[in-house]
Amino acid sequence: MPTPHLASLRDAIPQLRLLTEPADLEHYGRDWTRRWVPAPLAIALPDSVEEVQAIVRWANAAGVALVPSGGRTGLSGGAVAANGELVVSLARMNRMLGFDAVDRTLTVQAGMPLQRVQELAQEHGLHYPVDFAARGSASIGGSIATNAGGIRVVRYGNTREWVAGVTFVSGSGELMALGRALVKNSSGYDLRHLAVASEGTLGIIVEATLRLTDPPPASNVMLLALPSFAALMQVFATFRTRLQLQAFEFLTDVALQHVLAHGAQAPFAETHPYYVVTEFASDEASEAEALTAFEQCMEQGLVSDGVISASDAQAAQLWRLREGITESLARYVPYKNDVAVRISAMPAFLAETQALLGREYPHFEVVWFGHIGDGNLHINILKPDAMAQDAFVADCERVTKLLAQVLQAHGGSISAEHGIGLVKKPYLDCTRSAAEISTMRGIKAVLDPGGIMNPGKVFD
């Protein structure tokens, strides 16, 4: 039997594609967190900006909450619909709208997967540099809504840097072209940046104009083995001084073992406690600098082994060791911390965090990896098979409170790139001030006066 809400939605927008089958509700009602039981009202698949606006107007009138949905690869519960919300999936709005060679911009609908954006840029002889392992599924709208980072931030910055314009349907149903792809624009507040990292709480991103850049140089990937955690930031400093790094990623041997168990090939005959995957241009000068940096690190005892890619296939193999981590851990439904501090604060923060987690998690497997060159660390705590999910999460939340205090002391952030969503909502006030949070609430009240946009995410 259709609910009264569904009947009124069908009346209001008869042509709107709606899914109500249990399998669809389950599929579209959750993200990669897998912690909440999906329970959406239905899934709306609009095909135009007008349909999105009509949905928002209907939701305000009916008092039904909306959860915008991209590729559902989020890791913070930002796209979870567990309370009878209408999921608004942008999956059908995935078309290219324009390319401008003079402006060097690509305009696309928000449901286009990141990888397709990258391919289109390449087809036009240019490059969209935001990149991360979920590229095939994550949508560009979702990546904007979380200000996604990924593996190239050390070279190119976060998604925010590449958003030239956003077409946005606010929670009150207003259509706004924010940013307009102008290079210069000093005409008041830059509202485009409110859409970035808004996690669907202010409105729905329907289109984006993205800046493109020159294609990167041909590159080499190097895997370094490190004997100690303390060496990490020194190795980074040595390599960064000599090279323009395209990536500088870190993983522990615990992380590597999970990826190997998933079918990847062991890079060294021996195991080492820590590893770095770094990438830089493959021209002669860069290769010579990389070799010098490597030798310098070896002499100082900061690096104990290394391998450099000799082909694209080998480069991909080395990248798999880092990019395969999330997938290889998925079966444990890990509790994820995604924290950031300034790069200069990293050594002290790492030492304190290592001591804290060693003390608080003697009974759990803890997997460390991340974008160390950006000051961004991922800490995944694996649920023991025999332990109940609730008890596991409760223990991880207890420790996250302590971690948030360490972050506060170092001026860091409880979310570097995954967003706050539901997972980190309890800790937002550790790394954002009361004045900041109340300003965010004020902004939400203006753009989403009916409180229909992704309620309960980021803050209550």
Question: Which residues contribute to the site for ligand MLT (CB under 6 A)?
Answer: 75, 132-133, 325-326, 336, 378
Helices 49-62/4-12 angle, 10° precision: 140
Query: 75 or 452, CB closer to ligand MLT?
Result: 75
Least Cβ distance, residue 249 to ligand MLT (angstroms): 8
Query: 349 or 368, CB closer to ligand MLT?
Result: 368
| Contact indicator for 105, 212 with CB cutoff of 8 Å | yes
Least Cβ distance, residue 151 to ligand MLT (angstroms): 7
DSSP state, residue 213: B
Least Cβ distance, residue 206 to ligand MLT (angstroms): 25
Least Cβ distance, residue 79 to ligand MLT (angstroms): 15
Q: Which residues contact 305 (CB under 8 A, 6 or more apart)?
A: 224, 225, 268, 270, 272
Query: 107 or 252, CB closer to ligand MLT?
Result: 252
Residue with smallest beta-carbon separation from ligand MLT: 326
Instruction: Tell me the β-bridge partners of 250.
Output: 276, 370
Query: 150 or 171, CB closer to ligand MLT?
Result: 150
Least Cβ distance, residue 200 to ligand MLT (angstroms): 19
Least Cβ distance, residue 212 to ligand MLT (angstroms): 23
Measured in whole angstroms, how far is the alpha carbon of residue 439 from the centre of its chain? 24
* CA 244 to each of CA 292, 307, 377: distance values in angstroms, whole numbers, following the listed order: 14, 19, 21
Residue whose C-alpha is closest to residue 457's, from 145, 187, 167: 145
Least Cβ distance, residue 435 to ligand MLT (angstroms): 29
Query: 120 or 399, CB closer to ligand MLT?
Result: 399
Both structure tokens of 143: 């990546």
Measured in whole angstroms, how far is the alpha carbon of residue 77 from the centre of its chain? 12
Question: CA 437 to CA 429: how far, in whole Å?
Answer: 7
Least Cβ distance, residue 349 to ligand MLT (angstroms): 18
Burial of residue 73, with CB atoms counted within 10 A of its CB: 0-12 exposed, 13-18 middle, 19 or more buried: buried
Residue whose C-alpha is closest to residue 287's, from 241, 243, 250: 243
Least Cβ distance, residue 39 to ligand MLT (angstroms): 25
Helices 346-360/232-242 angle, 10° precision: 150
Question: CA 229 to CA 357: how far, in whole Å?
Answer: 14
Least Cβ distance, residue 378 to ligand MLT (angstroms): 4
Question: CA 340 to CA 346: how far, in whole Å?
Answer: 9
Torsion of CA 163, 166, 171, 174, to 10 degrees: 160
Query: 76 or 109, CB closer to ligand MLT?
Result: 76
Query: 150 or 267, CB closer to ligand MLT?
Result: 150
Residue whose C-alpha is closest to residue 168's, from 442, 456, 453, 440: 453
Question: CA 73 to CA 223: how far, in whole Å?
Answer: 27
Least Cβ distance, residue 336 to ligand MLT (angstroms): 6
| Contact indicator for 288, 409 with CB cutoff of 8 Å | no
Query: 43 or 325, CB closer to ligand MLT?
Result: 325
Query: 247 or 297, CB closer to ligand MLT?
Result: 247
At 336, give phi and psi (nearest 5°).
-110, 125
- SS3 for 116? helix
Least Cβ distance, residue 171 to ligand MLT (angstroms): 28
Find the length of the chain. Answer: 460
Q: Which residues contact 418 (CB under 8 A, 6 or more apart)?
A: 74, 75, 76, 146, 336, 338, 424
Query: 43 or 315, CB closer to ligand MLT?
Result: 315
Query: 132 or 349, CB closer to ligand MLT?
Result: 132
Query: 75 or 231, CB closer to ligand MLT?
Result: 75
